[in-house]
Amino acid sequence: MVASRAARLFNIEEAREAVRQQELYILEKKEGRAKALKKDKKIVIAAVIVCFLAAFGYIFSEAVISDLGHQVVTLKEEINTVQNQNDRLGLEINQLQNMARIEEYAKLNLAMIYPEQSNTTYMPIAVAELTNETTPPSANNEKSGLTVTVKDNLFVNGFLASVTDLFDRYFNKEALAAVK
């Protein structure tokens, strides 16, 4: 009996050991699954983040493309406006450069007329005295009608002085009376 009881106890112990081994195997399997789930969970979270960033990038790029398209349309409208203005100004320039229009404007607004013998005055221009120079004026200068004055090695064109004198005579009534 003792032997049978010992054998029963041994069988019970073996059965308990087998149950413990099976439970240990099940626990290890659950831990493996838990680790796998944690790994899978991290992969899923990373995939969701990547998808979110991709969607955000796509939406942002579409917004930028839309904004650039609007800018292109605005710039094309501005180019058309400037080209139309340029064409209009070109036509206006052509109209203003028309010689007949310029002649008409000169006659009507500026009281200009073509030169004729009766309205032309000739004025002799004499050679001015040369200072700081010992040579007399040449015959070529006298024939050309140019007056050149040298003062402190600075050449002054006497033509301007002659033109000023002409305007003084023309606009000064006393000078006109003295000439007649």
| Distance in angstroms (rounded) separating the CA atoms of residues 50 and 52 | 5
Phi, psi at 149, each rounded to 5°: -115, 130
Better-predicted residue by pLDDT, 62 or 7: 62
Per DSSP, what are the bridge partners of residue 154? 151
CA nearest neighbour of 131 among 113, 114, 156, 106: 156
Mean local confidence (pLDDT), 151-167 = 55
pLDDT value, residue 173? 54
Per DSSP, what are the bridge partners of residue 157? 148
CA 65 to chain centre: 22
148, pLDDT greater than 50: no
| Distance in angstroms (rounded) separating the CA atoms of residues 67 and 77 | 16
Specify whether the CB–CB gap between 172 and 152 falls below 8 A: no
pLDDT value, residue 76? 97
82, pLDDT greater than 70: yes
Tokens linked to 166: 């002409």
| Percent of residues, the chain, with pLDDT higher than 90 | 26
Better-predicted residue by pLDDT, 88 or 16: 88
- Which single residue is written with the structure tokens 């406006």? 81
Annotated domain spans of the chain: 123-179
Phi, psi at 155, each rounded to 5°: -85, 130
Q: What element of type H or E holds 155?
A: strand 154-157
CA nearest neighbour of 67 among 77, 79, 55, 59: 59
Better-predicted residue by pLDDT, 82 or 170: 82
Tell me what the pLDDT averaged over the chain comes to. Answer: 75
Q: State the pTM of this model.
A: 0.36
| Distance in angstroms (rounded) separating the CA atoms of residues 137 and 148 | 9
